Structure 1
Amino acid sequence: MRPVKLTMSAFGSYAGVEEIDFTKMQHGLFLVTGDTGAGKTTIFDAITYALYDRTSGGSRDGNMMRSQYAADDIETFVEYVFSYRGQVYTIRRNPEYMRKGKRNYADGSPRLVKELTKVSLILPDGSEFQGKKKEVDHKIEEIIGLDVDQFTQIAMIAQGDFLKLLHAESKERKRIFSRIFQTKLYWQVQEELKEQAKRLYISLEDNTKDCLREMEHVEPFSGEGEAEAWKGYLELKLPPAQPVMDTLKEICRQGKIRESEAEKKSLDLQKQAEELNAVIRSGEEINRLFLQRQQAQEKQQQLEAKKEEIERKRREVDLGARAEKVFIKEKQFIKTSAEGKRLKQQILDTKEWLDKEGKRAAVEEKEVQTAAEELQRMEPLWQKQIMRLDDILPRYERIRRLEKAYAQNLGKMQEVLEQCRAASEEYEEKYKRFFEEQAGILAKELKEGSPCPVCGSTTHPKKAELSGKAPDQKAVEKAKEKRDKKEKERTLIQETFQESKSNLESERNLLKEAAIEIQGSGEISEVQVKEKLDQCRTRLRDQKTKYQRKEKQFRELKEELKRRSGLLESQEAQLGELFRKEEEEQADFRQELRAQDFPSEEEYQQAKAWINGREEKEKHLKEYEAQSVEVKTRLEMLKQQTEGRKKADLTSEKERLFKVQSAQKEQRAQWLHLHSQNQKNQDAKKKLNQYFEARGDLTAQYEMVNNLSRTANGTLSGSVKLDFETYVQRKYFKQIIHAANRRLSKMTSNEFILQCREIKDLSSQGQAGLDLDVYHMVNDSVRDVKTLSGGESFMASLAMALGLADIVQNTAGAISLETMFVDEGFGSLDDAARERAIQILQELAGEKGLVGIISHVNELKEQIEWKLVVTKTEQGSHTKWVFD
């Protein structure tokens, strides 16, 4: 990855749009220099932010990077153009920040607007990568081949990050390497083994609990030796499998024998009970027949006692049935008679209404005629007034247009009069000055003794002189043409003005005449005209509405009178028909009275009392007859069934049956208890056999997995706490140290190198395996890396960082990393060490292509030719390339 161009807008200490063109620096080592706080590290922050939405040190995110110097209308963004394997990519990213809106609130206070975070990636073919922010970020990582942590460890080494890896404890290095070399897989193996061992241990514990729980379910038989042995097994924490199963097998055998004996006794008692039940059922059946015969005789006697009552009800039902037939005729006659009386009253009501409303109709007819005559007289007058007012209203609009035209023409006329006056004065002035100049022209030709062509004098004591400023004849003629032209314009405009004035006065006079005609005076406003027009239309409409309402009421009354007259005729005809029908129905009633054998109407009225409830009485009579037949038939059948038989005495048989059933119940309960006990013991035997078989397999698995887990997690007692992931990371660590020592030996003139602490020298307390020591090649001694001085620590840290970069590139899929940035740290070196460190970085630049250093050390300015100088001002920082 090689930078091409970096653009920062309102980012960090850069207030405006700042562009850094990296193509000016093709290859080699360059220095980023400037005052403290000018924005040197911000350049690295901008590159890391554009790529990963993070700053190089990780302490600030993009949301904190908007420049405090930026104007309100400047947007904050970073655009980074870089090449990778010959392909050019462009990333533009802006953070979320608050900026001043274009409009303020109503009270004048500024309105803040949130600018949302955005990112875009332009691919080498010029197209924009389509996707959300997360997908774009993933695409950038895919292109470069590094995540942000790897990038800041090998390509963008931030200020203060050198010593992190050098002075870190083994535990901290493990965390760093896990992220960089993706060794989390090996940690997952450790955790999985630990979890498997834990699960197997829990399974073994559960298996023991299951065995003890099932053993508690077993019920041995008291008085037997197995019961005492079983009690002893239950007191053990882990009972032996084979003795337990042998004892349980014997308990089950004894239970089976006892259950068979109890079942045989229960079945014998059940057979005795069934034989006694058969005898008792036979005797009870005979006794039931005698009881039913007695009940049938009693029922027959009850029915005989109700016979007289039944005959009385039968007579009442007969009278009610005959009276109901007569009542049907009587009810129709009464209904028709009532209808005639109601209709007669309706006829009287109709006649009374016709008389009253007929008189009201005559009055309303006169009122309608009067309203029609008044409307006929007034409507033409109102219509005429309305037409006059309608004609007047447009005049006001015409007058306004004419007044406007008059004012415009008046202004034009005044303007052209002023122009005519000015043109005339100009002409008169030029003509006067031209005429006066003619005397000087003539005087110029006069000579003494020669006569003057004007006065004839031969002496010329005081000749006129030429002024030299008078207009010529052409100028005078042009002024005259201008005057004449303005005079023509004045004439035309004056005619237009007079015409508009005449039209305005004419329209005003016509309006005045119309006003006199309407209200007798010559002044009437447009508002007054509209009010009068509304009044006229309202009065005309009200008068029409009043007439139409009266006319409608009268018409509706006439129609109702006509309808009621027709109704009266119909009612009178209907009443005559009802009188005839009433006579016929009365005759039918008398005839039916005789047909039903009622000697008199009084007897009929008495019989009407039995009509209500007649159906219920008929139902009761039918039920009585059916019961009588049923009881008689049943009594005859029972007499036949009991003939030649006697009642049975079953007392002794029932007593014997009670004793047998009680004994059988107790015996069955004992049998069921034994069966349940044996079933429970058999189930426990089956499950215990399964649990004991599973215990062997679980024990073997647990011992194997537990040993693997303790080995992988470094928890074997008496050994170094070296887990599987750390063991793998030691391989990477040694490769990093080897790569670092190639450069460190040059920087220290073979004084010391780094080495990974051997396993035999590691502590058995706490996590170990990634400990770092310093080996002094001069005196063959080893000491802890933390004992290095400041300058030695910087050289060792730089070597470690470069070694880490080499290894990460090799293990991350042959990543093409052509650029490296290093932030500070050179101030702790002496001249010789700094010279060697710079030489190493120059060699690295020859390998990588481009290496940038941030530093305040003045000596570096002399040693490094290419510089990117950052200048700090009150309006923000600026950058420029300098080559010495």
Structure 2
Amino acid sequence: MRLHSLEVTAFGPYRDHQEVDFDRLGGDGLFLLHGDTGAGKTTLLDAVAFALYGSVPGARGEVKRLRCDTAKPDTITKVVLELTVQGQRLRLERSPEYQRPKKRGDGYTTQQAKASLTWVDGAPTEQPPEGLTRIDEVGRTVQRLLGMTVDQFFQVVMLPQGEFAKFLRSDTTEREKLLEKLFGTERFGEVERWFVERRRERGRGVEEQTQRVRELLARVSQVSGAEPDADADEQNWLEDIEKRSLREMEGTQAEHSRLRREREVADAKLTERRELAEKVRRVRQANATLAAIGEQQDQHDAWRAEREAAQRAVPVLAARNAVLRAEQERDKARAAVATAAASCELDAETPLAELRSLAGTRREEAGGLAHLIPEAQQQETDRQKLASLADRLAADETLETELVGQQATLPDRIGTARQQVEDAKHAELRLETVQARGTEVAALLRTARELPGAQKELASATARAQHAIDAHQQARDLLQDLRARRLAGMAAELAARLSPGEPCPVCGSAEHPAPGEPVGAPVRAEDEDNAQTEEQRAATRREKATAEAQRAQQHVDNLAERLGEHTEADLAAELAELRTERDALQKTAAELPQRTKNLAELEESTERLNEQLSKVRTRAAAARSEQASLATTVDEREARLREGRGDFPSIADRRTHLLDIAARLEQLAAARTSRDDAEHRLAEQETALAEAATAAGFDNAAAALAAERGDDRIAQLAEALAEVEERAAGARAALSSAELFGVDADAEVGLEEATEAAVVAREAAERSAALAHRAEQRQRDIAQLAERLRGAWAELGPALAEHAELEALADVVNGRGQNARKMSLRAYVLAARLEEVAIAATRRLQRMSGGRYSFVHSDAAGARGTRGGLGLDVLDDYSGKVRPAKTLSGGESFLASLSLALGLADVVAAETGGALLDTLFIDEGFGTLDADTLDLVMDTLDDLRAGGRVVGLVSHVEEMRQRISVRLRVRKSRDGSTLELQT
């Protein structure tokens, strides 16, 4: 990766557009960003990081305030970086998210973050030629090309200010977190968790298998009724259970076979006795049935006679039903004749010829009125038309009056509409002024409402600051008191360490004639350190509380200055009036298009009214002429229709009346004919009834009707006679059968003794069967459970062995068990990486320290059983002892931190396999070094330029500027060039 140019606008302290040409600066491989403190040197490095990853390193990235506070509102904050990565030259442009003033009104709006990537020399085949504009796509592409994350980039390429020594002085936990980010060892943590989860999963499986074995043992014990001994072998116990259940099953089956044979013999004897008893019972029952039937013979003969008479009366009943139907038809015909005669107002016995003659006359009169019906209909249509013409004339006269009135009022209406249009236009102009003033008053009102809360917060912050000041003062007084007391008791503290015969650490004497005595309560060094720590904390709290009180006071002053002489009540009232006026003006202004349209319509309505008035008058004249002609025709037709309808309302009513009279006369004639036919049929049916009774063997029809029986009674008689005959036939058949031949009805069988013997044998056999079944079921259950138990034992053994092996391996991987160094797999990998870093950093540290210091990596376990592997100390060649890195001086710490950072950068770059890093930035305090050490550091930085690498240094130290200028001039003079680079 090589940087070419950087452009920043409204970024950090840079209010205007600034550009940095890295190609020119890095022409010699080394350049210096020099300036006073706060001039924005580090901001340029932040700009590079922001252009690449959208974030800046260190604590500055947590604040997320990248825009210049003094930039103009319309100036866009952006960073443009042009660089070459893996042979691809590209241009990155980013803008952060920030708040900018609204273009209209007060307040702020959010300017969204943006990013774009443009290919300068043509896009790769897999990338779009127009570049990328989505933030996530730009981020993924940059990370893919550089081959490292943002954390790795800040540690490898951009060594930020104040971050070198953090890794050097950090404890094992912090160092582990940083190494994990840089080397991506999360996968080894996943391996550790996989082993733990696998062990937990296999443990659950083993527990389930063990529980299954316990359940099967309990089930076998429950079925067999035998508990296993605590010291007995479970396999032998199971075999004994199986043998005992088998013997029990065989014994119960043999007993069941014997008792079953005895039951079969008893059942055979009982069956024989039951068959004989049944034959005796059937003989007795047949004799009793025949005797009972003989006693009821007379009743049976009466049932047969009654059934035969009812059957002979069936034809007579049919003839009687025909007579009844004929009588009903005759009565119905007589009633119809009476009704028809009443409707005609004539005698019911009027001759038929006379009735038919009268009906024909009425029909001829009705036919003569048929031609007048269309004229009556036309008369009604014409009368409706006359009424319609009258309504139309009245409507036209009313419309004419209205149109004349509109012509008279039209000039005034046009004037009013023009005034309304002017009012709407004026409302539009006034609305902008009212809205602007409303926005201003609303902002002032928000300020007025915010002021009480700010004053309350100011009072609270002032109180907290005063409390913090008092607490700090108390802590200082306590510290000074403890220091004074400790100085007073220092002699007693030294005397407490003296031993007889041992030299005094102060004077060297082995004799101690008058050791110091404690003065009051002794003060230990720990007490003084604790008091000093508490005093520093109180000072920090005091500074924080004082700053908060100052910010609160500044906020209240700003609010009061903005508010001026205005009060909240006056502003609220004015805002309400402005909003009311604004609503009214908005409503009036919104009506401008409609008012303009109404005015145009009124101006165009004069000619339209004249045309409408002319059309109305012409239409009214035509209607009056048509009305006069139609009235004459209606009067002439009315005279003819009056003569035709007579006393009836209409011609149709008179014609309908005549046709109705003719129909009623014809109906009376038809009813007379139907009555005569019904009386003739009745006489014929009565003769047929008498003949049917004689033919059925009855003296008369009355006797035949008396023999009538219902269907239910006939069926009842037939069923009773059939039952009697069936019982008699069955009894005779039973007595004559070969099965009952020779059976004595008076014989005694003796069934009770055989039944009792059979019951006793059956109960004994059933009990033995139940016992045999239970023994067989128990033996089968035990056999099945034994098979399952042996299978569970066979599966549990390998599972226990596998779980034990997996548990031991999981403990080793996670730094427990047989792991003597208590190092997890992840810590082991990180320890190997840290050892590589220590080796790479030692080469530079030895050179910069003149061979005095070198890094020592330790994989020993920490204190109190904590995990080891990430220890990093310093070997001092002067003393030959290893000492903690925290004991190094300020300059020595800088050398060690810089060496460690460069070594870490080398190892991370090799580990990630990322792009070739041709540019390196170092932002650190070189002012802590003496002249000789600074020369060694500069020599080391010169070595970093090997292979075309560019190293950029950031420092405000003037000596750095002079040394780099001298080195550049020397380097230029060696190759004969006279160019002097000014940075």
- The TM-score range, normalised by the shorter chain, is 0.5 to 0.7
Shift of 1:788: 1.9
Answer with 663-672 or 834-843: which moved more. 834-843
1:263 counterpart letter in structure 2: Q
Question: What corresponds to 1:268 in structure 2?
Answer: 258
Question: What corresponds to 2:30 in structure 1?
Answer: 29
- Correspondence list, 1:48-447, <5 A: 48-57=49-58, 60=61, 65=66, 68=69, 78-93=79-94, 112=109, 119-123=115-119, 124-125=122-123, 127-128=129-130, 134=136, 137-219=139-221, 230-233=227-230, 243-281=233-271, 284=274, 290=281, 294=285, 297=289, 315=310, 318=314, 324-326=321-323, 372=385
Of the three residues 750, 753, 764, the one matched with 2:854 is: 753
Question: What corresponds to 2:919 in structure 1?
Answer: 819
Question: What corresponds to 2:481 in structure 1?
Answer: none
Spell out, residue by residue over 1:334-385, the C-alpha distance to the aligned partner (whole angstroms, 9 max, x if none): 677777888889999xx9xx9xxx9999999977665655767997999899
Question: What corresponds to 1:809 in structure 2?
Answer: 909
CA RMSD, 1 decimal? 5.8
1:177 counterpart letter in structure 2: L
Question: What corresponds to 1:715 in structure 2?
Answer: 816
What is the alpha-carbon distance in structure 2 between the residues aligned to residue 801 and residue 220 of structure 1? 73
Question: What corresponds to 1:591 in structure 2?
Answer: 684
Q: CA, structure 1 residues 85+297, in 2 after alignment: closer, same or farther (shift >3 Å)?
A: same
Q: CA, structure 1 residues 254+532, in 2 after alignment: closer, same or farther (shift >3 Å)?
A: same
- Asked if the contact 2:9/2:17 (under 8 Å) is kept, the reply is yes
- Asked if the contact 1:219/1:677 (under 8 Å) is kept, the reply is no
Give the 3-state SS of the residue equivalent to 2:837 in structure 1.
helix
1:837 counterpart letter in structure 2: V
Give the 3-state SS of the residue equivalent to 2:821 in structure 1.
coil
The alignment of Structure 1 onto Structure 2 pairs a total of residues equal to 714
Question: What corresponds to 1:883 in structure 2?
Answer: 982
Question: What corresponds to 2:976 in structure 1?
Answer: none
What is the alpha-carbon distance in structure 1 between the residues aligned to residue 117 and residue 302 of structure 2? 117
What is the alpha-carbon distance in structure 2 between the residues aligned to residue 577 and residue 637 of structure 1? 72
Shift of 1:684: 3.6
What is the alpha-carbon distance in structure 1 between the residues aligned to residue 833 and residue 80 of structure 2? 36
What is the alpha-carbon distance in structure 2 between the residues aligned to residue 850 and residue 606 of structure 1? 148
Q: CA, structure 1 residues 582+312, in 2 after alignment: closer, same or farther (shift >3 Å)?
A: farther
Q: CA, structure 1 residues 728+563, in 2 after alignment: closer, same or farther (shift >3 Å)?
A: farther
Q: CA, structure 1 residues 531+711, in 2 after alignment: closer, same or farther (shift >3 Å)?
A: same
- Asked if the contact 2:403/2:613 (under 8 Å) is kept, the reply is no
What is the alpha-carbon distance in structure 2 between the residues aligned to residue 343 and residue 38 of structure 1? 132
Give the 3-state SS of the residue equivalent to 2:229 in structure 1.
helix
What is the alpha-carbon distance in structure 2 between the residues aligned to residue 329 and residue 576 of structure 1? 21
1:190 counterpart letter in structure 2: E
Question: What corresponds to 1:643 in structure 2?
Answer: 740
Shift of 1:798: 1.8
2:982 counterpart letter in structure 1: F
- Asked if the contact 1:340/1:575 (under 8 Å) is kept, the reply is yes
Question: What corresponds to 1:795 in structure 2?
Answer: 895
Give the 3-state SS of the residue equivalent to 1:805 in structure 2.
helix
- Asked if the contact 1:321/1:614 (under 8 Å) is kept, the reply is no
What is the alpha-carbon distance in structure 2 between the residues aligned to residue 13 and residue 610 of structure 1? 136
Question: What corresponds to 1:741 in structure 2?
Answer: 842
> Structure 1 residue 672 and structure 2 residue 773: aligned?
yes
Q: CA, structure 1 residues 583+795, in 2 after alignment: closer, same or farther (shift >3 Å)?
A: farther
What is the alpha-carbon distance in structure 1 between the residues aligned to residue 271 and residue 98 of structure 2? 102
Unaligned runs of 5+ residues in structure 2 are: 346-361, 415-605, 636-640, 642-648, 694-699, 967-980
Q: CA, structure 1 residues 726+559, in 2 after alignment: closer, same or farther (shift >3 Å)?
A: farther
Tell me the TM-score normalized by structure 2: 0.59
Answer with 252-261 or 192-201: which moved more. 192-201
Q: CA, structure 1 residues 772+111, in 2 after alignment: closer, same or farther (shift >3 Å)?
A: closer
> Structure 1 residue 3 and structure 2 residue 103: aligned?
no
Shift of 1:539: 13
What is the alpha-carbon distance in structure 2 between the residues aligned to residue 34 and residue 304 of structure 1? 152
- Asked if the contact 2:221/2:228 (under 8 Å) is kept, the reply is no
Of the three residues 872, 876, 879, the one matched with 1:776 is: 876
2:144 counterpart letter in structure 1: E
What is the alpha-carbon distance in structure 1 between the residues aligned to residue 942 and residue 650 of structure 2? 123
- Asked if the contact 2:918/2:950 (under 8 Å) is kept, the reply is yes
- Asked if the contact 1:262/1:667 (under 8 Å) is kept, the reply is yes
Shift of 1:737: 1.3
What is the alpha-carbon distance in structure 1 between the residues aligned to residue 935 and residue 713 of structure 2? 138
What is the alpha-carbon distance in structure 1 between the residues aligned to residue 99 and residue 296 of structure 2? 108
Q: CA, structure 1 residues 363+703, in 2 after alignment: closer, same or farther (shift >3 Å)?
A: closer
Shift of 1:135: 5.3
What is the alpha-carbon distance in structure 1 between the residues aligned to residue 330 and residue 310 of structure 2? 28
What is the alpha-carbon distance in structure 2 between the residues aligned to residue 542 and residue 657 of structure 1? 128
- Asked if the contact 1:154/1:808 (under 8 Å) is kept, the reply is yes
Q: CA, structure 1 residues 595+725, in 2 after alignment: closer, same or farther (shift >3 Å)?
A: same
Of the three residues 755, 771, 787, the one matched with 1:686 is: 787
Shift of 1:769: 0.8
Q: CA, structure 1 residues 674+329, in 2 after alignment: closer, same or farther (shift >3 Å)?
A: same
- Asked if the contact 2:6/2:81 (under 8 Å) is kept, the reply is yes
- Asked if the contact 2:319/2:688 (under 8 Å) is kept, the reply is no
What is the alpha-carbon distance in structure 1 between the residues aligned to residue 89 and residue 12 of structure 2? 26
Give the 3-state SS of the residue equivalent to 1:659 in structure 2.
helix
Tell me the TM-score normalized by structure 1: 0.65
Unaligned runs of 5+ residues in structure 1 are: 402-523, 867-881
2:873 counterpart letter in structure 1: D
2:53 counterpart letter in structure 1: Y
Shift of 1:45: 3.9
Q: CA, structure 1 residues 592+840, in 2 after alignment: closer, same or farther (shift >3 Å)?
A: farther
Give the 3-state SS of the residue equivalent to 1:176 in structure 2.
helix
Answer with 776-785 or 656-665: which moved more. 656-665
Shift of 1:163: 2.6
- Asked if the contact 1:386/1:533 (under 8 Å) is kept, the reply is no
Spell out, residue by residue over 1:593-633, the C-alpha distance to the aligned partner (whole angstroms, 9 max, x if none): 5434499xxx999999999x966667666766765666565
- Asked if the contact 1:390/1:533 (under 8 Å) is kept, the reply is no
Shift of 1:686: 2.2
Shift of 1:826: 3.3
Shift of 1:153: 1.8
- Correspondence list, 1:510-521, <5 A: none
What is the alpha-carbon distance in structure 1 between the residues aligned to residue 96 and residue 341 of structure 2? 102
What is the alpha-carbon distance in structure 1 between the residues aligned to residue 623 and residue 63 of structure 2? 79
Shift of 1:25: 3.1
Give the 3-state SS of the residue equivalent to 1:83 in structure 2.
strand
What is the alpha-carbon distance in structure 2 between the residues aligned to residue 605 and residue 9 of structure 1? 136
Give the 3-state SS of the residue equivalent to 2:865 in structure 1.
coil
- Asked if the contact 1:718/1:764 (under 8 Å) is kept, the reply is no
Shift of 1:774: 0.1
